[in-house]
Structure 1
Amino acid sequence: MSIKYQLVIYWSYEDDCFVVEVPELPGCFADGQSYTEAVRNVEGVIREWIATAQELGREVPEPRGRLISA
Structure 2
Amino acid sequence: MNKFKYQMIIQWSDEDNCFLVGFPDFPGQRWRTHGDTYESAVQNGIEALESLIMAYEVTGESLPEPSIYKAA
- Normalising to structure 1: TM-score of the pair? 0.81
Aligned 1:1-70 pairs, distance under 5 A? 1-2=1-2, 3-26=4-27, 27=29, 29-66=32-69
Fraction of identical pairs, as percent: 36
CA apart distance, 1:56: 0.6
CA apart distance, 1:29: 1.8
Please state whether the residue corresponding to 1:53 is helix, strand or coil.
helix
In structure 2, stretches of 5+ residues that fail to align are none
Please state whether the residue corresponding to 1:60 is helix, strand or coil.
coil
- Normalising to structure 2: TM-score of the pair? 0.80
Q: CA RMSD in A?
A: 1.5
- State the AA in 2 paired with 1:18: F
In 1, the alpha carbon distance for the partners of 2:68 and 2:10 equals 15
In 2, the alpha carbon distance for the partners of 1:40 and 1:16 equals 18
| Paired positions, count | 66
In 2, the alpha carbon distance for the partners of 1:65 and 1:41 equals 22
- State the AA in 2 paired with 1:21: G
